[in-house]
Amino acid sequence: MVVTSRGSDPRTLAAKVVRDARRRLRKCAHSPVQRIACDYHEGILILRGRVSSFFHKQLAQEAVRNLAGVDKVVNAVEVHD
């Protein structure tokens, strides 16, 4: 088993980060943001999905800002008219 410098199993940390990120996204008042998916790997949280405006893309990124265990957010959400 690989142990991170934080002293926990990487799979446990990843599951917690994804769970926390999804919880924050679901709390957003805008439904397109609530449907955004996320993945986590080695400190990087990746947001994926499709929204109809750049505003929703930015809301998603702000929702997961300063999330514990996340060093970088990659916002791969696509904006479609």
Domain assignment present for residue 4? The answer is: no
Could you tell me the CATH number of the domain that includes residue 27? 3.30.1340
Q: pTM of this prediction? A: 0.85
Domain assignment present for residue 53? The answer is: yes
> Does the structure show a pLDDT above 50 at 4?
no
| Cα 30 to Cα 32: distance, rounded to the nearest angstrom | 6
Considering only CA atoms, which of 10, 72, 27 is closest in space to residue 47? 72
pLDDT score of 3: 35
| Cα 45 to Cα 31: distance, rounded to the nearest angstrom | 20
Task: For residue 14, give its domain range.
Answer: 10-79
pLDDT tens digits, one per residue of 5-25: 455 688 899 999 999 999 999
Domain assignment present for residue 58? The answer is: yes
pLDDT tens digits, one per residue of 20-79: 999 999 999 999 999 999 999 999 999 999 999 999 999 999 999 999 999 999 999 999
Domain assignment present for residue 22? The answer is: yes
Could you give the number of structural domains in the chain? 1
pLDDT score of 8: 66
Domain assignment present for residue 35? The answer is: yes
Question: Any idea which residue has 């917690």 for tokens?
Answer: 16
Domain assignment present for residue 1? The answer is: no
